[in-house]
Amino acid sequence: MGIGKETKDIFKNTGLHFRTGVSYMLPVLLIGGFFGSIAVLGKTSDAEIWKLFKIIGDIGLKYFVPVMAAYVAFSITDTPGIAPGFIIGILAQETDSGGYLGALVGGILVGYFTFLALKVKVPEMLESSWGMLAPVFSTLLVSILIFFFIGPPIAHLMKTISTYLQSIGNGGNASMGAIMGFFGGIDYGGPFSKTQSTFATAVTNLKLYTPLGIAGAIITVPPLGLCLATILNPKLYTKTEKNYAKSSWIYAVVAGFTEIAIPLAAGDIIRCTIATICGCMITGTLAGYFSLELYTPVLGIPQWFFYNKPLVYLCILIPGILTTALVVNFLKKISKRNIEEMEKEEKD
């Protein structure tokens, strides 16, 4: 395979690299969030154990961004990308170099340039040490790019977004919630969903937490809505779909992944997507209107402890989930799916 084809494959799979980084990032974030929330309970105490919990929480919430960048680079070029990615992530986070988005872009770039550096043919005397030297050069190159060229425009963009979001008020937040809900319901954790969740996480660096509150609210609407639909009208679903829904709804609550909806949506993607878009837009609009804020990007049950309005969060889920279930069942009913034939095909 030529270098051109490999380069194309690397950037074609940018979404995969991002998801890899997020999957390694989440445990760090969850540990930090867990201990940080426990530390709040002892904030009036001088006991050393509460100080320890706070330190652990601060570490997790500080370094989840560099860990994400490290494993984005790892996804591209394996182990040699981890250290460069981690350093670039810290650079982006602790300087005016784009924060979360700068770390994401930097992780992709340093992974790619490390990959290229390892392809370079070097004199025989350097071959044994080139595996250690190549990441040094890629780190230097990407650090210069991020610090001087890429990071500042991203930082400027984020400040512009910050100024705008702070000025739009509840009505503007509701409109933003509807737009984010559309993207969050369209592809079940795919590129569109990742775009809106990446934006929501990025602006937390600017102390803006309503976009993340919106993203956190809509993320469980598709799986819970489609699971509820199988209960409201089981005749519209195959045995496989119903069994999956029975075993998956609790996981959707505990873990909070939109991707849980994929097996239920895959066999009837257009109708399911229409339904989840409707449900996510309703929940997103309500989350924006009520200025629901989420203070750290966690999923599932842990996020309940980081909302500014936990009761509002629970209340706005209900109309979105119910809308998804009712719309998808209506569309399936008028489509006259032949469930008996589908079950026979599954059995065969």
Packed helices 3-12 and 99-119: angle between N→C axes, nearest 10 degrees: 160
Number of domains in the chain: 2
Q: What backbone torsions phi and psi does residue 305 show, to the nearest 5 degrees? A: -85, -5
Q: Quick check: pTM over 0.85?
A: no
Tell whether 272 and 329 lie within a shared domain.
yes
pLDDT greater than 90 at residue 14: no
Query: How many C-beta neighbours within 10 Å does residue 12 have?
Result: 9
Tell whether 85 and 119 lie within a shared domain.
yes
Average pLDDT on 165-189 reads 84
Distance, CA of 208 to CA of 178 (rounded, Å): 18
Q: Which of 164, 195, 213 is the last residue of a domain?
A: 164
pLDDT greater than 70 at residue 162: no
Q: Which two tokens stand for residue 145?
A: 């790019």
Separation of CA 319 from chain center? 23
Q: What percent of the chain has pLDDT over 90?
A: 46
Distance, CA of 205 to CA of 169 (rounded, Å): 20
Tell whether 102 and 181 lie within a shared domain.
no
Max avg pLDDT among 97-106, 250-259, 284-293? 284-293
Could you give the maximum distance between any two Cα atoms of the chain, in Å?
A: 72
Tell whether 111 and 191 lie within a shared domain.
no
Packed helices 169-186 and 221-232: angle between N→C axes, nearest 10 degrees: 70
Amino acid type, 110:
V
Res. 67 pLDDT band, cuts 50 70 90: very high
Q: Tell me, what's the pLDDT at 117?
A: 95
State which residues form the domain around 205.
170-347
Tell whether 227 and 322 lie within a shared domain.
yes
DSSP reduced 3-state for 294: strand
Q: Tell me, what's the pLDDT at 348?
A: 61
Tell whether 206 and 288 lie within a shared domain.
yes
Tell whether 186 and 283 lie within a shared domain.
yes
Q: Which of 140, 164, 188 is the last residue of a domain?
A: 164
- Stretch among 7-11, 82-86, 98-102 having the lowest mean pLDDT: 98-102
Tell whether 218 and 323 lie within a shared domain.
yes
Q: Which two tokens stand for residue 288?
A: 């924006």
Tell whether 176 and 154 lie within a shared domain.
no
Res. 325 pLDDT band, cuts 50 70 90: very high
Tell whether 73 and 117 lie within a shared domain.
yes
Distance, CA of 81 to CA of 186 (rounded, Å): 32
Q: Which of 122, 143, 164 is the last residue of a domain?
A: 164
Average pLDDT on 146-175 reads 78
Tell whether 193 and 209 lie within a shared domain.
yes
Q: Tell me, what's the pLDDT at 23?
A: 72
Tell whether 211 and 235 lie within a shared domain.
yes
pLDDT greater than 80 at residue 43: no
